[in-house]
Structure 1
Amino acid sequence: MDTSQRFRVRIDRLLAKGSAVLGTHSPDPPGVIGFPTLDHGAFTEWRAQSLSLLTNLLGTDHVYVASFEQEVDRSYTSSVEAGIGILKAVSEDLEDGFLTDVLTLVSAEVFTDFLAMAGHLLECEYKDPAASLCGAVLEEGLRRVATNRGVQVRERDDLSTLNQKLAAKSIYTRLVQKRLAVWTDVRNAADHGKFSEYSKADVADMHAGVSSFLARHLT
């Protein structure tokens, strides 16, 4: 499941949760007008989770985030209906590919964080988990590159298969493909406990190479 799919799954869950919040509607008592009619706790939880997703996906300055903050301010039925409408619009834009640049930025930031973790592990002489982490970042990065370039991949495609597909589409050169194949071997050795088949220097080269590769192909 790629990044776009994961966000859409999360939005679907929040849409269902928003509908559940609407189901907590309790009419005002006779003679009372204008008070919120939805369960405040359920509303607050849904609003916080929705804003967290939107800001993680789009950033704090995006129009969807600003609209959600403005429209979904109190536990009124109309507020939740507005929020559900915004979430549906974001999901539709994701489905139609209009938020590709945003997803690329999110992916790049996440990859940077994980590569920083791998670098720290390497500095602390933990070459094996560092190799596994670099390999995982590379695999997810290749999936993102494939999505951005219109190369069709399947969920079961592994790092080697992704590398072959992208090279076959001339996304990068055969020389780059060979470098990625070396990093794939290091990752596979780490994941299968064959720790003597590679050195700390091999992992350091992999870490630097993956960082450079993703910086080039995810921007």
Structure 2
Amino acid sequence: MQQKQNVLAYARRMAKEVQSNMTWEATDYGGYWTATDRSQVARIDARAAAALEFFRQYAGADSFWTRRAKDVYEKEGDHQSLESGARALGELLLEWSRQVEAGMADIIGSRAWGEVGVASTDVMAQVRQLMQDRDAHPAAAIVLCGAALEIGLRAAVEAHDLALDERASLGSFTRLLRRKQLITQQDVKDLEQCADLRNLAAHGDFSGLSPERAGLMEQQTNILLRRLADLHA
């Protein structure tokens, strides 16, 4: 909920900024918006670009809102001026915010990020219970840690509206996020280590497994899930 409010607050600030430094120029045919100072035109254009990127990231690349935002800006409002197009983007941002608050529109990935919370709480709570159960084999906790990581990685991919070009797996999600520079090379190494341990447990190769290794994976999984959650903070 807090993330949603942060996004909406940012959208409203952006709307205010993208509509600033303009004045209305009346004409016989109505009028148009123009920069109060011509030196502000480049800044207005940059703010408009940021607004378009906001729609792509939070409304979705193929959403009505993003398509409409691109169209209205490229057509300079109603073929009036660059500033008029930017002004219209501000109005779209405000209306999108109202629609999200009313439950009529979604922030892209908001449901996916809810899955990170599930992985971090529900699934990892089960891991903790298994770790405390002396009769439970460490493989069970390790497999669950792997499942939690896959949920978190999938959520990160979906929340950033990324397209996967190979079979969905812990490894493919990791590679995609790294290509997009959303995670570090160290994150990749940590995820690969966890994936290797998960694979041993999942394939019944228990010879190298121990409660100590399961405990280390639990700690590493919690750290990685926090890192993934931070991608949307």
CA contact (8 A) 2:146 2:194 kept: yes
Alignment CA distance shift 1:206-1:110 (3 Å): closer
Q: Deviations over 1:142-188 (max 9, x none)?
A: 00011122322268311111111111211111111001100001111
Alignment CA distance shift 1:107-1:128 (3 Å): same
Alignment CA distance shift 1:113-1:171 (3 Å): same
Cα distance between partner residues in 2 of 1:185 and 1:99: 32
Q: TM-score, normalised by structure 2?
A: 0.49
1:100 corresponds to which letter in structure 2?
G
2:117 corresponds to which of 104, 108, 117: 108
Alignment CA distance shift 1:173-1:111 (3 Å): same
Tell me the CA shift for residue 103 of structure 1: 4.3
Matched, 1:139 2:150: yes
Residue identity over aligned pairs, in percent, reads 28
Alignment CA distance shift 1:131-1:169 (3 Å): same
Matched, 1:169 2:176: no
Q: TM-score, normalised by structure 1?
A: 0.52
Higher Rg of the two aligned structures: 2
Tell me the CA shift for residue 99 of structure 1: 5.8
Equivalent pairs, count: 127
Task: Say which SS state the counterpart of residue 196 (structure 1) adopts.
Answer: coil
2:121 corresponds to which letter in structure 1?
T
2:193 corresponds to which of 173, 182, 187: 182
1:108 corresponds to which letter in structure 2?
G
Cα distance between partner residues in 2 of 1:124 and 1:117: 11
1:123 corresponds to which letter in structure 2?
Q
Task: Say which SS state the counterpart of residue 172 (structure 1) adopts.
Answer: coil
Q: Which residue matches 2:164?
A: 153
1:122 corresponds to which of 121, 126, 131: 131
| Range 202-211 or range 102-111, more displaced | 102-111
2:208 corresponds to which of 197, 203, 209: 197
Q: Deviations over 1:12-71 (max 9, x none)?
A: xxxxxxxxxxxxxxxxxxxxxxxxxxxxxxxxxxxxxxxxxxxxxxxxxxxxxxxxxxxx
1:121 corresponds to which letter in structure 2?
L
Unaligned runs of 5+ in 1: 1-88
Tell me the CA shift for residue 216 of structure 1: 2.7
Task: Say which SS state the counterpart of residue 139 (structure 1) adopts.
Answer: helix
* Greater share of residues in strand: 2
CA RMSD of aligned residues (A): 2.3
| Range 187-196 or range 146-155, more displaced | 146-155
CA contact (8 A) 1:143 1:153 kept: no
CA contact (8 A) 2:174 2:188 kept: yes
CA contact (8 A) 2:115 2:155 kept: no
Unaligned runs of 5+ in 2: 1-101
Cα distance between partner residues in 1 of 2:166 and 2:154: 9
